[in-house]
């Protein structure tokens, strides 16, 4: 039994050694495969990179080829145009060759030594003609402008003359107005002086009546000399309103009744003229009786 177990153990050990060797071989193969895969991946990446670069290069070459073809086509068109232009110029030279012959003949019989001198002379004459035409056009424009300015100046002069006439008329009218208002002012000053004198006369009359009443009443009344209104109230009632011009007035006595004197409204309806007439009538017609006591 022991021997069988040993044989089995030996067989198991051998098998395990075989398995271990096999496992190591598998690990080695796996490592080799991994290395191969990494190498393959690098190779694929390099191939992809090279392929992309090749595609880019091919695209650039294709674009350059298209550009070159376009430039070549444009150059061909330009060449064709130049050929056509050259042909036209050749035809023109051929057509103008007779003028060259003519100029050569002119050089032979003229003072010019070469054809180029004739051409320079012709160009100079053309420039001179152009300058003369411009100068003539400028002269005509200047004349037209001067004419317009002269017309404007004439119109302005007429307008200024009209304005001056209007101002002179206004000045004369203002002078007449000044004389009129000066005359009116003088009349107003004379009238004011006259009314001032009349007012002074009225005040003097009122003062005289007041003093006369004071003497009749034998009383000393303390009334200022220049207070004509108070003096007039002491002398008698306030004067009636100024009636119409020419109306007959009746003066009433302070004791009652009417005075025998009649008066008409003065011709001048100013208040102080009426007051002057009224005070004169009072002084002439009223009889003052001294108060008792």
Residue 83 has what pLDDT? 92
The answer to whether 272 and 198 have CB atoms below 8 angstroms apart is: yes
- List pLDDT tens digits, range 7-18: 888 888 888 888
The answer to whether 104 and 93 have CB atoms below 8 angstroms apart is: no
Alpha carbon distance 238, 286 (integer Å): 15
Please give the average per-residue pLDDT across 157-173, as a whole number: 91
| Helices vs strands, H then E, count in the chain | 4, 2
Point out which residues pair with 131 in neighbouring strands: none
Residue 272 has what pLDDT? 44
Element (H, E) at 247: none
Would you say the pTM of this structure is higher than 0.85?
no
How much is the mean pLDDT over the chain? 77
Q: What's the gap between Cα 206 and its chain centre?
A: 72
Please give the average per-residue pLDDT across 37-47, as a whole number: 86
Cα end-to-end span (Å), the chain: 195
Residue 190 has what pLDDT? 92
- Higher per-residue pLDDT: 229 or 12: 12
Alpha carbon distance 206, 212 (integer Å): 10
Query: How far apart, in Å, are the Cα atoms of 189 and each of 181, 182, 195, 222?
Result: 12, 10, 10, 36
Split at pLDDT 50, 70, 90, the class of 277 is low
Please give the average per-residue pLDDT across 174-191, as a whole number: 92
């Amino acid at each position: 039994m022991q021997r069988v177990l040993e044989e089995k153990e030996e067989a198991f050990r051998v098998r395990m050694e075989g398995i271990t060797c096999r496992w190591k071989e598998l690990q080695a193969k796996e490592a080799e495969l991994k290395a191969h895969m990494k190498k393959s991946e690098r190779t694929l990446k390099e191939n992809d990179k090279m392929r992309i670069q090749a595609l880019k290069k091919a695209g650039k070459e294709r674009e350059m080829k298209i550009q070159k073809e376009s430039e070549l086509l444009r150059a061909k068109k330009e060449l064709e145009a130049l050929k056509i232009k050259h042909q036209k110029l050749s035809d023109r030279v051929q057509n103008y060759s007779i003028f060259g012959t003519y100029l050569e003949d002119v050089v032979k019989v003229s003072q010019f030594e070469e054809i180029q001198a004739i051409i320079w002379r012709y160009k100079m004459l053309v420039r001179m003609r152009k300058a003369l035409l411009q100068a003539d056009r400028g002269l005509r424009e200047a004349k037209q402008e001067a004419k317009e300015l002269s017309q404007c100046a004439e119109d302005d002069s007429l307008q200024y003359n009209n304005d001056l006439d209007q101002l002179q008329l206004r000045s004369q009218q203002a002078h007449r107005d000044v004389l009129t208002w000066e005359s009116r002012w003088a009349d107003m000053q004379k009238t004011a002086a006259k009314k001032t004198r009349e007012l002074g006369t009225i005040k003097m009359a009122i003062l005289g009546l007041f003093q006369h009443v004071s003497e009749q009443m034998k009383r000393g009344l303390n009334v200022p000399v220049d207070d004509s209104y108070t003096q007039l109230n002491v002398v008698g009632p306030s004067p009636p309103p100024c009636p119409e011009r020419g109306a007959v007035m009746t003066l009433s006595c302070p004791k009652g009744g009417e005075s025998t004197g009649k008066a008409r409204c003065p011709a001048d309806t100013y208040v102080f003229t009426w007051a002057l007439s009224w005070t004169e009538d009072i002084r002439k017609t009223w009889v003052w009786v001294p108060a008792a006591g």
